Structure 1
């Protein structure tokens, strides 16, 4: 089988060809010369197009063309110098024409549409790498443009906000100064505590009659709103609504007439006799069945008769069962009439409300010390049980107990505070009490720092105020620890009772 003849190499470069293979260095130099010539022709064409469109830019384009020609000559000279240099070893050089062709730079593309505007002068080395999609003006704008920032202009609402903030800061400063003044412990017994505020420039009932806010214009008839159309004084008589007196608004309960023991017994007999006659009448009419005979141990033989003689054991058991049944019925009736816990609480609350509707009273007690936990518990628990409102103020100098409620509850609480509690009593706390009192200050504990029991022989309770009030000053019962006298006065001042602290300090 004969082998097919091989296709001859192009351009006589086969094994028997006469043409000599071009060296790689010579090919690179020739490619650079050709690229320089192409770049020079492109630059000359562009310069001619710009010159035709914009005659004013001709000198600039001429300079660019000359620069391009000079660059082409320099590239040609460099190529010739590279030809004279010794060739590099062929071991590292590519052996195939395809590799050489891939290494050749691509020819520059010619812009078919010349720009109408005069281009900015560029450096010669930038012309080879010119991007047809690059816009210098847009790039300059992008560099100059920064991030957008919201800018507010001073207007009406901003001015109002600034004024409100300033006013709020001023009120906060005033409040802080007032609290510091209270905590400083100013003596209320001094003249400063009893200063009376100056009268207003004009009273509220005269504001509708005078044109100004003071009494300086009272002698000027033109500034008096008496006979004018907008005057509050008219020909009509205004009758204010009639209000009931405070004592008439109370719930007045008529007390029943008290009876002696004999009168109560006689009334009971008459009531039971009337009920018995009514029951007998219903039996005669057949409305109710007749009741069985009430057999007891004493009348057993007389009621049962011959049956008791014949079988006394059975009759005795029957009588005992009837007696037990009557007892059980009595106990059951009593349990049915007995109130449940919820009904007892509701009845107690209703009675306390009725007591408060008859009139409200206030009592203020002064106690030297309340370091014993048992005293604090008795004060708090009894106030809650009697539905009293008020507050207990704990202070290192003195302790104040303020209560409000009906006459019955207040009298019960007075007996507790003035007679039932032993104020000289003191004892060490239990484990649970010690845990609760861990956060209390030292003056509110029953033991000293050395662990000894404090001496309460000097402790006593005094009633410093008692009287009737119109409305309650406190919504519920509570207590508060006040380290200073200023805090105690501030707490009482919220209920408009700050004068009680000065009263308590003045009484020894």
Structure 2
């Protein structure tokens, strides 16, 4: 710095001639030109800082003469107030300390290169440039449609293969013949009473045609058809024709009165459930018995003290003979022992006689069982329907019928070649035990031994023809009923060869059980 300062002040340069030559060749040798160059560089740096938004002035490293202010040709943009900048003011203050302490062209270049460039827009956000409408053969942007290119209409001719329509006609004729054959078979089955045997899908899914008049409208239609109903109401003063519906006629059954249907009591209306008392535990029951017996014993003692009852005779046994009788037993022990044995036998006989008097006879036991059955039936009558695939084993038939009788159930057992139907009615308690018998206790795959067959004999030939490895039993219906449909205490078993006989035996009230059982059988069959 000393040689440079000396050179600026106008002193002599003591450097070698080679260095002088290099200095003269690389810059101005006149001090006045050098000062102008430095001042021009400072002005450029200051202008660069102002354009970049930084108001900081470079720290002066050496005193320099002030240059006259020059007029700016272009107006500088006004900056934002510092209070409105927010966080931007802090960032500006941060970059202010990074300003160079001296003026140089390199600092100006760094500031110019560090200026933020305008952000380029995303190519995807750019809007499509509308097509020019100068070409009349191009459609506008609104008329353009996205999607695949439509197929060309200029295609080669496609001929049908020979015999195509002949085969279609033959297929239609075969379908008509098959339909006619089905109708002929159904008509023959309807005449023979075997309509239920032909349960095909077409007959089940086909809906019947609507009738000419519904049954609830027959009383209002003199002609029994809906053709008599006019499209428009009659004009006032026009005579009512005879075929006009009886809705607006004088003799019409429709009036301003409301007909209330007769209320039907529900199945559970007659159920009388008695309220249960307090249910005690075993410890509480023992305590209550102990207290009751103590009270009875104390009452008996009080009566004996008042002379209302004679005192009980001493209860002498062989174990307490010497302690109770004492001297008498010592005087004649044989006689005392015989008397004590007679008293023990008399007490035992009295005990047995009292127990026998308390026991119920066969008639009383039967009456008590019937009373309990009626009490359970007063809570409601229930019905169970079971479907058995094969009910051919004599052992199975005996168990099904005998257990229903023992539980006082009324039932009907129908044996059909396809399946067997078991219908039982009774109390809920009895049917609970019977359901366990049918679904758990009986092994339906075991044919068993006939009742009159010995262990060494061969099984009956009729039971050998049935394979019971896939025999099953299923409860298809259970629920309450209003009243019994079968006589109480009667269980009948009948063989029916066709569906018509089964429905005739069941009647209109129970025919639905057969339909439910057969429908469930069809759904389970492979």
The two structures have a TM-score, normalised by structure 1, of 0.53
User: Residue 446 of structure 1 aligns with which residue?
Assistant: 463
Greater alpha carbon shift after TM alignment, 464-473 vs 406-415 = 464-473
Q: Give 1:241 deviation, angstroms.
A: 8.4
Query: Which of 443, 466, 486 is the aligned partner of 2:500?
Result: 486
Pick aligned residue for 1:467 from 475, 479, 503: 479
CA distance in 2, matches of 1:301, 1:486: 88
1:462 Cα deviation after fit: 1.8
The corresponding residue for 2:521 is 505
- Which residue of structure 2 lines up, in the alignment, with residue 288 of structure 1? 309
Match runs of 1:174-189 below 5 Å: 180-182=192-194, 185-187=197-199
CA distance in structure 1 between the partners assigned to 2:364 and 2:289 by the alignment = 28
- Post-superposition shift, 1:263? 1.2
Q: 1:430 to 1:376 in 2, by over 3 A?
A: closer
- With over 3 angstroms needed to count, the CA separation of the structure-2 counterparts of 1:457 and 1:479, relative to structure 1, is same
SS in 2 for 1:378: helix
Question: In the aligned structure 1, how far is the partner of 2:434 from the partner of 2:206?
Answer: 32
> How many angstroms does 1:189 deviate by?
6.7
In structure 1, the residue matched to 2:322 is 301
- Partners of 1:462 and 1:408 in 2: how far apart? 19
Partner Cα separation in structure 1 for residue 380 and residue 391 of structure 2: 30
In structure 2, distance between residues paired with 1:197 and 1:307: 110
Q: Secondary structure at the match of 1:247?
A: coil
Classify the secondary structure of the residue corresponding to 2:193: helix
On the 8 A contact 1:488/1:501 being kept in 2, the answer is no
Tell me which residue corresponds to 2:5: none
Distance in 1 (alpha carbons) for counterparts of 2:388 and 2:193:
26
Q: Does 1:390 align with 2:411?
A: yes
Structure 2 CA distance, aligned partners of 1:326 and 1:179? Answer: 83
Are 2:390 and 1:369 aligned? yes
Deviations 1:111-159 (A, max 9, x none): xxxxxxxxxxxxxxxxxxxxxxxxxxxxxxxxxxxxxxxxxxxxxxxxx
CA shift at 1:385, angstroms? 0.9
Q: TM-score, normalised by structure 2?
A: 0.51
How many residues get paired?
Answer: 310
After superposition, the C-alpha distances for 1:303-335 in whole angstroms (9 at most, x for unaligned) are 212111212222222222222222222221111
Matches within 5 A, 1:38-117: none
Helix, strand or coil at the partner of 1:424: coil
Whether the 8 Å contact between 1:183 and 1:487 is mirrored in structure 2 is no
The separation in 1 between residues aligned to 2:281 and 2:209, in whole angstroms, is: 62
Specify the alignment match of 2:69 in structure 1. Answer: none
State the shift of 1:183 in Å. 7.6
What pairs with 1:416-431 in structure 2 (closer than 5 Å)?
A: 416-427=437-448, 429=450
1:186 is displaced (CA, Å) by: 3.5
Following the alignment from structure 2 to structure 1, what is the Cα–Cα distance between the partners of residues 196 and 266? 43
Point out where structure 2 has 5 or more consecutive residues left out of the alignment: 1-188, 230-244, 455-459
Q: Against the structure 1 CA distance between its residues 256 and 262, is the aligned structure 2 distance closer, same or farther, given a 3 Å change threshold?
A: same
Report the alpha carbon displacement of residue 398 of structure 1 after superposing the two structures with TM: 1.4
Query: Judging changes above 3 Å, is the alpha-carbon distance between structure 1 residues 195 and 287 closer, same or farther for their aligned structure 2 residues?
Result: farther
Contact preservation (8 Å) 2:322, 2:329: yes
Tell me, yes or no, if the aligned pair for 2:410 and 2:425 is still in contact at 8 Å. yes
CA RMSD of aligned residues (A): 3.7
Q: In the alignment, what sits opposite 1:220?
A: 248
How far apart are residue 345 of structure 1 and its match?
Answer: 1.2
Structure 2 partner of 1:81: none
1:187 is displaced (CA, Å) by 2.3
Q: Distance in 1 between matches of 2:405 and 2:369?
A: 12
Q: Distance in 1 between matches of 2:283 and 2:445?
A: 48
- Please give the per-residue CA displacement for 1:247-290, whole angstroms capped at 9, x wherever unaligned: 34202022332222221111111111222222223323333222
1:212-361 correspondence to structure 2 within 5 Å: 217-224=245-252, 233=257, 245-361=266-382
Q: Which residue of the partner structure matches residue 174 of structure 2? A: none
Cα deviation code 1:289-309 (max 9, x no counterpart): 221112223322222121112
Q: CA deviation at 1:193?
A: 9.3
Does the aligned pair in 1 maintain the 2:381–2:480 contact within 8 Å?
yes
Secondary structure of the structure 1 residue equivalent to 2:463: coil
Q: Is the 8 A contact 2:439 2:474 kept in 1?
A: yes
- CA separation of 1:195 and 1:344: change in aligned 2, threshold 3 A: farther
Partner Cα separation in structure 2 for residue 347 and residue 188 of structure 1: 53
In the other structure, the counterpart of 1:92 is none
